[in-house]
Amino acid sequence: MLNKKYKESGNVLFLILIAIALFGAISYAISRSGVGSANISKEQNIIYASQIVQYGSNLRTAIKRIKATDTADTDISFANNVVAGYEHATPQPEFNQVFSPNGGGAKYIPPNPEWLDSTQSAQAFYGEVYFPRKVCIQGIGSVPLALNCRMDGIDNEPLLLFIPYITKELCIELNNKLGIENPSGDPPQELSHAWSVSLQKFKGVYEESVKLDQAGQYYGCFEGDVASMPPAGTYHYFHVLLAR
C-alpha cells in the first residue's frame, strides 16, 4: 500500500515536471516567433518594394509603347475600369490607353492593402494609384535643376504616379532599394504640397500648380509636409512615367 502511494506521488511529480518543461518550450517558441515576425516583416517589405518599383517600370514601358506610335503627350489616357475620373473629355481610342491591351498593354492594379497605412484610410487616393496633372519636378525632362518649375509658364510637367499612404517601413525600404538617402533613418520630407489641393487627375491636360521637392529624382518615397497635402507622418511613393 505504501509503495503504491510512492508510485502515485512519483507519477504526479513526473507529470508536473513535464508540464513545466512544456510551458518553458512554449514560452521560448513564442518569444522566438516575435523575433521571427519582425524579420519576416522587413523581408516582406523588401519584396513589396520590388513589386512597387516594378509596377512603375511596367507603366513607364506601357507609355513608351504608346509614344512609339507618335501619340501626343496630351492623348495618353489612364482611363480604367477600377477607378473613375481619368477619362478625357473626348474619350481616347484604345491605342492611346495605358490600360488597354491594344494600347500600353498594362493593367491597373490597386495597391496591396499590406502596403498601406490603414490609419489613413479616410484620405483621398488611399488605396489607389494616383496619376496627377499638376506636379513638376526640378531637374526632370526639360526642367532645369535650378528652375522653380511650379509656375514657370513652361509646359514641362511629367506624367507620374503616386502610391499614397504607404507604411513608413515600406517607404524606407523603397528608398533603400533605389539608393535614395533616408536622412537620419527617415524618408525625406516635402517642404510643401506634393500634389494639388484640388486633387485633379490627369485627363489630357497639364497644368502648373505643384513642385515636388525630390529634385532630379525619377522615383522615390517621401514624407508629407507639416502644413500641406499630404500631411506630415504620412508616406508616399512616386515614379516618373514620362519626362517632358
DSSP reduced 3-state for 130: strand
Q: Vertex 147, ends 142 and 152: CA angle to 5°?
A: 80
Sign of the alpha-carbon dihedral angle for 92, 98, 100, 103 = positive
Which pLDDT score is estimated for 36? 38
Entry field: residues in the chain: 244
Q: Enumerate residues 6+ apart whose C-beta is below 8 A from 102.
A: 94, 95
- All three cell numbers of 181: 538617402
Q: What does the radius of gyration of the chain's CA atoms come to, in whole angstroms?
A: 26
Provide the pLDDT for residue 149. 83
Q: Which helix (H) or strand (E) holds 20?
A: helix 2-67
Tell me the per-residue pLDDT of 138-185, one tens digit each, with 9 for 90 and over.
999 888 786 778 777 788 899 999 999 999 999 999 999 999 999 999
What's the N-to-C CA distance of the chain in angstroms?
97
Work out how many domains the chain is built from and give that number.
1
* 91 preceded by a cis bond (ω within 30 of 0): no
* pLDDT of residue 213 exceeding 70: yes
Report helix, strand or coil for 215.
coil
Burial of 189 (0-12, 13-18, 19+ CB in 10 A): middle
Domain extent for 9:
2-242
Share of the chain above pLDDT 90, in %: 68
Determine the pLDDT at residue 38.
Answer: 44
Q: pTM of the predicted model, to two decimals?
A: 0.82
Q: How confident is the model at residue 31 (pLDDT cuts 50, 70, 90)?
A: very low
- Asked if 222 and 240 count as a contact pair (C-beta separation under 8 A), the reply is no
Which grid coordinates are listed for 217?
529624382
Q: How would you classify the pairing of strands 235-242 and 219-223?
A: antiparallel
Report the percentage of the chain scoring pLDDT > 70: 83
State residue 35's pLDDT score: 39
Average pLDDT over the chain, rounded to an integer: 87
Helix (H) or strand (E) holding 240: strand 235-242
Residue with grid cell 475620373, as numbered in its chain? 85
Q: What is the pLDDT of residues 114-140, one digit of tens each?
A: 999 999 999 999 999 999 999 999 999
pLDDT, average across residues 53-66: 98
Q: Which three cell numbers stand for residue 82?
A: 477600377
As a whole number, mean pLDDT of residues 92-96 equals 97
Question: Bigger pLDDT: 169 or 10?
Answer: 169
**Percent of the chain as helix, strand, coil, to the nearest 5:** 40, 15, 45
Q: Find, among 164, 160, 141, the residue nearest to 222 by Cα.
A: 164
Confidence of residue 6 (pLDDT cuts 50, 70, 90): very low
Distance of alpha carbon 200 from the chain centroid: 19
